[in-house]
Amino acid sequence: MVPPDDGADRRRFPRYSVRIMAAISGPGAPQPVAVRDVSQGGAFVTTTAPQPIGTELQIRMSMPGDQTEEQLDGRVVRVVEVQGDQMPDHITGMGIEFKLTAEQREKLRRVLMSYVGDQD
Q: What average pLDDT does the structure give for the chain?
A: 80
Stretch 82-100: mean pLDDT, rounded? Answer: 77
Of 104, 48, 114, 51, nearest in space to 78 by CA:
51
Burial classification of residue 4, based on how many CB atoms lie within 10 Å of its CB (0-12 exposed, 13-18 middle, 19 or more buried): exposed
pLDDT of 50 above 50: yes
Of 35, 47, 6, nearest in space to 98 by CA:
35
Of 9, 115, 118, nearest in space to 61 by CA:
115
CATH 2.40.10.220 correct for 16-81+90-119:
yes
Percent of the chain with pLDDT over 90: 36
pLDDT-based confidence at residue 6 (cuts at 50, 70, 90): very low
Stretch 85-92: mean pLDDT, rounded? Answer: 65
Look at residue 1 in the predicted model and tell me its pLDDT. Answer: 35
Domain ranges of the chain: 16-81+90-119
Look at residue 7 in the predicted model and tell me its pLDDT. Answer: 41
pLDDT of 90 above 80: no
pLDDT-based confidence at residue 49 (cuts at 50, 70, 90): confident
User: Regarding predicted confidence, which is higher, 107 or 116?
Assistant: 107
Nearest-angstrom CA–CA distance, 100 and 91: 26
